[in-house]
Amino acid sequence: MTDNYALFPLKSILLPYCVLDLQIFEARYLDMISRCFKQDQGFLIVGLEAGPETGSGNLRFNALGCEARIIDWQQRDNGLLGIRVAGHRRGRASAVEVAADGLVTADIEWLVEERDMPPGPEYSDLLALRDSLLQHPMAAGLGLPGVENSQQALAYQLAYLLPFTLDKKAALMHIGPSAERLDQIGDWLQALQS
């Protein structure tokens, strides 16, 4: 199944089961947010590989992104619109078009996730690490959902909370099975300790 969604290229990545705070100031994105509210639809955040986050010059971005759903908004002290989005499903963009106002849209093919499983005992160290990371004051207020019954949530939240490079976070988005994502995270953590 494909849907036509607006794209929001960023030099950061949104992952499923995670949140991201954004400041919206460009007219094209304010219009996009308005349409999202009216149509009860999200937008796709894609990793920006080349080009500016502002402006519609020669942008190059990863075709695989994450659906962002607005869960909170407020007018900031600086006059800009602040939104908090939650990451939902992964999608691959194709048939990209650029509107006259510079808003990029694309047909999105939603990736089918495997049946989610609770993290087994082999992931107890990663579960404890995630819980420890959430004790940090900057992470405590994020309101991330629980992971006790979800390998997917555990893998994505660890990728979000750990200081991995954007390339590594993007690589995790491309891995299908959650167990493989968790194993990759474990391998990277082991490499840091050696």
Model confidence over 76-127: pLDDT tens digits? 888 788 999 999 999 999 988 888 888 889 999 999 988 999 999 999 999 9
Would you say residue 85 lies in a domain?
A: yes
Identity at 147, one-letter amino acid code: V
Instruction: Evaluate whether residue 45 is within a structural domain.
Output: yes
**Containing domain of residue 57, as a range?**
2-110
Phi, psi of 49 (to 5 degrees): -95, -30
Q: Would 115 be classed as within a structural domain?
A: no
Whether 158 and 179 map to the same domain: the answer is yes
Please give the Cα distance from 29 to 97 (Å, whole number).
15
- pLDDT of 55 > 80? The answer is no
Does residue 144 lie within any of the structural domains? yes
Distance CA 108, CA 67 (A): 10
Provide the 10 A C-beta neighbour count for residue 101: 12
Mean pLDDT of the chain: 88
The pTM (predicted TM-score) of the whole model is 0.87
Higher pLDDT, 150 or 145: 150
Q: Does pLDDT of 56 surpass 70?
A: no
Q: Which residues pair with 45 in a beta bridge?
A: 8, 66
Q: Determine the residue type at 189.
A: L
Which residue among 78, 110, 142 closes a domain? 110
Rg of the chain over Cα atoms, rounded to whole angstroms, equals: 17
Q: Is the pLDDT of residue 66 over 90?
A: yes
Contacts of 51 (CB under 8 A, 6+ apart): 9, 57, 58, 59, 60, 61
Q: Dihedral, CA atoms, 88, 91, 96, 97, nearest 10 degrees?
A: -20
Which residues, listed in sequence order, are joined to residue 39 by a DSSP beta bridge? none
